Amino acid sequence: MAKTVSLTDVGALRNKLRRYTHGQKLEIAQFNQVARLAHLGRIVLAPLDPEDAECRAWLLHLERPEGLAAELLDVDEALLGRIHVLDAEQGRALAEILREGFEARARDLEGLARRDFYLAKFFRAQESG
C-alpha cells in the first residue's frame, strides 16, 4: 500500500515536499558504491525539477553492474531498483564523477584504437633478440 499524507495536515505535507526538493544524502559507504557505478557509466542522473530554481535535488537510478564489474564491486541491493532523490551537493559530485569516468573511458578507447600491438610484440622483440 502506498504511503499517504493527509491533506488536512498541511504542515506535514510541506515538510514532505521540502524533503523532496532538498533531497537526501547517501551514507559515505553508499556514496562510494554509487560513485564507482557512476565512474563506469552505470547510473542515470537528472535534476529533480530543472524548471524550479529553488529545487536543487537530483534524481538517481542505478543500473546493476555487469561482467567483471559485477564480480568485483559490492553494491548494496537496497540501492538498486529504485529512484533516489539526492541533495544538490552529492548530485553535483556524482555528475562530475560520471563525466570524469566517461572521459577516462574515451581516452582509454582512443589509445587502444591507436595502439600497434603487432609492432610492440614482434618488431621490437626481434630487435632485442
Q: pLDDT means per 10 residues in the chain (129 residues)?
A: 59 70 91 98 94 90 95 94 94 98 98 93 69
Q: Would you state the pLDDT for residue 69?
A: 95
Are 98 and 58 in contact by the 8 Å Cβ rule? The answer is: no
